[in-house]
Amino acid sequence: MSDTGRPGEPEQRPGATGPTHRPAATPQGDPGAASGWAGGGADPATAAVSDPAGPAPEREPGDGRGRPAWLLPVAIVVAVVVIGVVVGVLVNRNGGDAAPAPAASTVTAPVPTPAAAPAARTATTAFAGALPTTVLQYALESSQEDAERLGAGALEAYTETFTDGDGGTLTVRAAQLETPEDATALLAQVVAGLPTAPAADAPTATASAAPDVDLPQSGEVLVGGAPVGTFTVVDAGDGTGVAVWQNGTAVFQVTAPVADVLDVYRAYSL
**Confidence (pLDDT) at 251:** 98
- Alpha-carbon distance of 121 to 134, in angstroms, equals 12
Across the chain, mean pLDDT equals 76
- What's the rounded Cα separation, in Å, for the pair 155 and 169? 27
What distance in Å separates the CA atoms of residue 215 and residue 203, rounded to the nearest whole number?
10
Q: In terms of Cα–Cα distance, which of 249, 202, 256 is closest to 228?
A: 249
- At 34 the pLDDT is 42
pLDDT score of 148 more than 50 = yes
Residue 87: which pLDDT band, with cuts at 50, 70 and 90? Answer: low
Report residue 189: phi and psi, to 5°: -65, -45
Q: First-to-last CA distance in the chain? A: 140
pLDDT at 62: 47
Mean pLDDT for the stretch of residues 48-71? 52
The confidence band for 111, taking pLDDT boundaries of 50, 70 and 90, is confident
Residue 187: band (very low, low, confident or very high) from pLDDT cuts 50, 70, 90: very high
Lowest mean pLDDT across 36-40, 159-163, 230-234: 36-40
Provide the CATH number for the domain formed by 126-267 in this structure: 3.40.1000
pTM given for the model: 0.58
Higher-confidence residue: 212 or 203?
212
